[in-house]
Amino acid sequence: MTAVRGTGGRRARARGAAAVFACLLAAVPAAAQIFAEQEVLVRGFVSQGYLNTANNNYLVPRSVNGTAEFHETGLIVTAVPRDRLRVGIQLMGRNFGDTGNDQVVLDWAFGDYRWKDELGLRAGKIKMPYGLYNEGRDVDLLRTTVFLPQSVYDERMRDFMLAYEGAAAYGSVTLGGAGDLDYHLFGGTLNVADPSHGFWGESYAEAAREIEPEIARLAEQDLGLEPGSAEATFAFIRDPEVTFPWIYGGSVTWNPPVPGLRLGASAMQGRFNYRGEIIYDIALVDPVAHKAHLSSFSLDIDQTLRVDRIYSVSAEYLTGAWQFVAELGGTKIEGQKDAGYYVQTGYRFGKVVSAAATWSQYWADTEDREGKIYEARGLPAYYAWQHDGTLSLRLDLTSHWLLKIEHHFLNGTAMAEYLGVARELEAPSSRRWGMLAAKTTFHF
């Protein structure tokens, strides 16, 4: 679970994946489109990005130094073996800071039996229906922006918002003169692929560091030391596991008889367990006087948390070259509620250039939007929110190659705070800060 991977191995895997995709791209005719002649469809993409933040670290450790550890590779195969039945699979390799490490994983894979237009059934690993864009969040070529707005599509929560393993009922119901309604109802389980890194790794570390003084007291009793003579330092977590034994929910999208308009809502509920063994290093506060006795101490954790709800409400209007989107979303986990929303306007200038402007607001605790609780703890109030104005530019340089660049003007650090707390990095220190992201994608 916590396999240590050498840099050399990681580079070799990245080179291998790049070579495979180079071969696939070379095999694709220049004029190939998304529409194919064959019944087995093979598509793919490879993306490389760059991320740099000013003043505060965000999304990846030490982002203030800039990082190119930001790439994805995906290969999709879909086939229709018989009438009403469809099967598909996507393999994906990803590296984002210290998560993913280019390990090829099953992104989604399912069988789909479409009994009627109003009712189809899917089983397997299926993309989570949340908001209008969650199912395509890993596919850079589907949007103008580099990142989906973080107030609704929190990158830190990607691992458990991406896909579930289970079954779904879906369909499209005609509402006569009122348009039609698409729905997707699901139930299943979910396993976080690598909880030793990224958001989950940081969460484990944060929880582990909070109880270091208590661990030191326990270690003193174990080792027969005087009270106050030992200190405990979190070292690492062994065999972490984050699983959802069950999760269920659904989404509905109403397409009213107004061309280009769709309105959606989604909601889900579940429970998740996190387990693992936290390892602490134990050291004597005064090693000379006590003839230095070093040890380690382990603590098993096994906890279940209730996800009361994860929800979104969405509106999208496409007209001519314009795109207008507004979405809000939030979670309630063990009674703690966060929430955010964004509005976005996009415009396509001909076939090459697209641009988007996004305004996004997020609050980590809806009961403390102004940061009073943080202030009472002696911390900056701006830890409570994160507001983000983003300008994005996309260039479709050829039919297979695109380039994007965007700048985020940020106020508040609600989503950046955890990196500083858990990582022993410099805690967020600037209320106003910025992020530059660029990405290029080849696709076929």
Partner 1 sequence: MTGRIWTRTGAIGLAVALWAALAVGVPRGSAQPDRGLRIIAHPGVGVDAVDERFVERVYLGKRSRWPDGTTVVPVMLKSGPVQERFVESYLDRSLSRFVNYWRQAVFTGKGVPPQAFDREAELAAFVAATPGAMGFWSGRTPPSGVKILTIE
The interface with partner 1 within residues 303-322 (CB under 8 A) comprises 317-322
Judged by CB under 8 A, how many residues of this single chain contact partner 1?
Answer: 55
Q: 254, 324, 401, 409: which one contacts partner 1 (CB under 8 A)?
A: 324
- 28 binds partner 1, rule: CB under 8 A: no
Closer residue to partner 1, CB minimum distance, 196 or 360? 360
Q: 48, 167, 182, 355: which one contacts partner 1 (CB under 8 A)?
A: 182
The interface with partner 1 within residues 186-225 (CB under 8 A) comprises none
The interface with partner 1 within residues 236-295 (CB under 8 A) comprises 259-260
- 389 binds partner 1, rule: CB under 8 A: no
Provide, rounded to whole angstroms, the least separation between the CB of residue 391 and partner 1.
16
The interface with partner 1 within residues 412-431 (CB under 8 A) comprises none
The interface with partner 1 within residues 34-53 (CB under 8 A) comprises 34-37, 39, 41, 43, 45
The interface with partner 1 within residues 63-92 (CB under 8 A) comprises 74, 76, 78, 80, 83-84, 86, 88, 90
Q: 337, 348, 407, 423: which one contacts partner 1 (CB under 8 A)?
A: 348
- 362 binds partner 1, rule: CB under 8 A: no
Provide, rounded to whole angstroms, the least separation between the CB of residue 156 and partner 1.
21
Helix (H) or strand (E) holding 375: helix 372-376
Q: 262, 271, 369, 407: which one contacts partner 1 (CB under 8 A)?
A: 369
Closer residue to partner 1, CB minimum distance, 63 or 90? 90
- 401 binds partner 1, rule: CB under 8 A: no
Closer residue to partner 1, CB minimum distance, 185 or 211? 185
- 341 binds partner 1, rule: CB under 8 A: yes
Footprint of partner 1 (CB under 8 A): 31, 33-37, 39, 41, 43, 45, 74, 76, 78, 80, 83-84, 86, 88, 90, 108, 110, 112, 114, 116-117, 126-127, 135-136, 139, 141-142, 172, 174, 180, 182, 259-260, 317-322, 324, 326, 341, 343, 345, 348, 351, 359, 361, 369-370
